[in-house]
Amino acid sequence: MTFQVYMSEDKEAQEDELLALASIYDEEEFRRAECAQGGEVQVSVELSQDFKVVTKGEKQSEYNVCFLPPLVLNFEFPEDYPSTSPPVYTLSSKWMTRAQMSSLCRHLDELWDENQGCVILFTWIQFLKEEVVDFLGIKSPLEVHRAKSSDHEKKLDTKKTPDSCSSVAPLDSRAVALLDPRLDLLPQLLDYDEAQRQRLFDGKVFCCGICFSEKLGASCLCFKECQHVYCKACMSEYFQIQIKDGNVQCLNCPEPKCSSVATPLQVKQLVGEELFARYDRLLLQSSLDLMADVVYCPRVSCGTPVMVEPDSTMGICSGCQYAFCTLCKMGYHGVSHCKLPTEELRDLRDEYLSASVAGQKAVEESFSRDWLDENCKNCPRCGTNIQKADGCNKMTCTSCKQYFCWLCLGALSRGNPYSHFNNPQSPCFNQLFFGVDPDDDDNEFWSDDDD
């Protein structure tokens, strides 16, 4: 009769403990077993705010992390728990060694011995959540070895020779290492950390700096570099306008003076497939335009980017196999002079215009080149021809948006472009308005009186 009373009390205590766990933790943290008195608890280890992970190898890399993959506690209650026997359990991890987890298993057993006869799971979970880092002596930065498979096997191998086991505690069979020695641990740690950060962000409320509406993080976009937050509806409209206008280099944070740029993945999430394809194409083209060793196939029907060898004037299109001269953009002519060099174009301009279409085009090109030489300067970043119509000598390239000085063609800082004209050591000191006609009606607002 007494045995049946104990059994009934144990059964009731087990059920109460499972219900308590279900009320404390969400479905991702605790899952109850369907066919037995037990379940699975995923315990997130608490880390300090400045916790870091480092990798050692040819060069050392350091990463800030807020979350590490959880410790997984699988358990099942024997019939005489908690009156007599402890839960039957296994402890697994994707980043700990079996030696570390074996040490944790021994401490869980000690906690049971101290509290035998009482429910123990919550005590175990609190220890794993709050005290594991200090208990195991884990300190920031946590070093992650990116070694070969054989090296991992040596570090995680549970087998020891009899002589070597005398001073080392044996590994616990309940400790399960989920780290695949063939896979790199670092991406797994960073992916989990990113997912947990996003989950935390999605549940917070933010005020959009554009429409001033309060929305959950799940409906917002956060720029990676600056952490400024705006709602997805506003940013989607902003991105679409910029992409349609071809300003794919300007998908930056709307915060004044902020230079953070949206990632391609963030852009893809907020615009349609057609616009993203245009964004992707223009972004590639703008990047290629900045490369001195890339030209485009001159065939109108092709236009494929072509890599050119240094000091070579021959380009061979990988798309249509057309071999052309990179100077005159006509069929490659070897060491022979280009058919229409600048000098010959000037001679043709002085002659009577022929009726041929080729002659007319040559004259037009000559005039265009002379006009560009006289009225334009090249952007120091991408080489685009820029004309200065009015205003001060701080220029903005219409192609790559680079700030530069019209006088010396030096690139200017995006954060404070006017420091170039305010620095006494600069060759353009106090020359911001040099060359600006003070009598020009369009420039009356730059007068000293207005300042």
Per residue in 324-349, pLDDT (tens digit) is 888 887 888 877 777 665 666 666 66
Separation between Cα atoms, residue 383 and residue 152, nearest integer Å: 51
Active site residue 226: no
Q: pLDDT tens digit string along 117-138?
A: 899 999 999 999 989 888 988 8
> In whole angstroms, what is the distance from residue 323 CA to residue 85 CA?
83
Phi and psi of 88, rounded to 5°? -85, 130
pTM greater than 0.85 (yes/no): no
Closest CA relative to residue 329, chosen from 356, 298, 357: 298
Structure tokens belonging to residue 307: 């890599």
**DSSP-derived secondary structure letter, 248:** G
Q: Hey, what are 187's tokens?
A: 């991406």
Q: What is the model's pLDDT at position 280?
A: 83
Domain boundaries, the chain: 2-155+170-193, 204-289, 297-336, 340-376, 379-451
The CATH architecture that domain 204-289 belongs to is 2-Layer Sandwich (3.30)
User: Given this model, what pLDDT does residue 448 score?
Assistant: 38
Q: Selecting from 3.10.110.10, 2.60.120.200, 3.30.460.80, 2.40.50.220, what CATH number does the domain 2-155+170-193 have?
A: 3.10.110.10
Amino acid 292: pLDDT: 65
Mean pLDDT by 10 residues, the chain (451 residues): 61 91 90 87 85 76 85 92 92 89 93 92 92 88 64 40 47 84 78 87 90 91 89 90 81 86 87 86 72 77 81 83 83 75 63 59 73 85 84 87 90 85 91 74 41 35
List all residues 6 or more positions away from 333 whose beta carbon is below 8 Å from its beta carbon. Answer: 325, 339
Confidence at residue 76, expressed as pLDDT on a 0 to 100 scale? 92
Contacts 24+ apart (CB under 8 A), 407-416: 407/431, 407/434, 409/377, 409/378, 409/380, 410/380, 411/380, 411/381, 414/259, 415/257, 415/259
In angstroms, rounded to a whole number, what is the distance separating the alpha carbons of residues 436 and 430? 13
Task: Give the separation between CA 169 and CA 106, rounded to whole angstroms.
Answer: 10
Joined together, the tokens standing for residue 290 give 């900045």
> Which residue is it, tokens 């043709």?
348
- What is the C-alpha radius of gyration for the chain, rounded to an integer number of angstroms? 35
At residue 422, the 3 state secondary structure works out as: helix
Which residue type sits at 83?
A: S
Whether the CA torsion 76, 78, 81, 84 is positive or negative: it is negative
Dig out the tokens for 259 from the structure.
């230079």
Q: List, in sequence order, every residue forming a beta bridge with 411; answer none if it has no partner.
A: 404
Residues pairing with 307 in the sheet: 294
Q: Which one of the listed residues 66, 302, 338, 392 is annotated catalytic? A: 392
CA atoms within 13 A on the CB side of 148: 1
- The H-assigned helical ranges of 203-291 are 232-244, 264-270, 273-289
Other Cβ atoms less than 10 A from the Cβ of 346: the count is 13
CA dist., res. 138 & res. 150, Å (int): 24
Q: Where are the alpha helices (DSSP H) in 131-184?
A: 132-135, 149-156
